[in-house]
């Protein structure tokens, strides 16, 4: 158990809908990262927050947004969902904001868009 929690574990929704994925980092970790894992794209970095501030942005679509709250949990919002958004979404956390710190991954949320 990494200490990173993600809810829900599974999510099935229809095209055009909006969903929110939630992540609680390990105790003491200030950074939260979001990744998307799919068979065709592999593991893609979406966005990183450090202590409430956006720190880095990757291949995140404009339909997606995220935030980190004062208690350091984070939410990833996916809107106007398309079939291609079906994937595993991972949250990871690290103690610092730099990339040299190892990241601890949650169990993931499997999103299925029908």
Partner 1 sequence: AQSVAQPEDQVNVAEGNPLTVKCTYSVSGNPYLFWYVQYPNRGLQFLLKYITGDNLVKGSYGFEAEFNKSQTSFHLKKPSALVSDSALYFCAVHSGSARQLTFGSGTQLTVLP
The residues binding partner 1 (CB under 8 A) are 2, 4, 42-43, 45, 48, 55-58, 90, 92, 99-100, 102-108
CB of 90 to partner 1, least distance (A): 6
Cβ nearer to partner 1, comparing 14 with 27: 27
CB of 91 to partner 1, least distance (A): 8
* DSSP string of 49-86, one letter each residue: EETTEEEEE-S--TTEEEEE-TTS-EEEEE-S--GGG-
Burial class (CB in 10 A: 0-12, 13-18, 19+), 111: buried
Cβ nearer to partner 1, comparing 80 with 99: 99
CB of 1 to partner 1, least distance (A): 10
Cβ nearer to partner 1, comparing 19 with 50: 50
């Amino acid at each position: 158990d990494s200490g990173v929690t993600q809810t829900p574990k599974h999510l099935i929704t229809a095209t055009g809908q909006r969903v929110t994925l939630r992540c609680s980092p390990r105790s003491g970790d200030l950074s939260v990262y979001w990744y998307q894992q799919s068979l065709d794209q592999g593991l893609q970095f979406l966005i990183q927050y450090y202590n409430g501030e956006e720190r880095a942005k990757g291949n995140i679509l404009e339909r997606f947004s995220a935030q980190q709250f004062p208690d350091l949990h984070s939410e990833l919002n996916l809107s106007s969902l398309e079939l291609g958004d079906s994937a595993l979404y991972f949250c990871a956390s690290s103690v610092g904001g730099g990339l040299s710190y190892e990241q601890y991954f949650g169990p993931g949320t499997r999103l299925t868009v029908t």
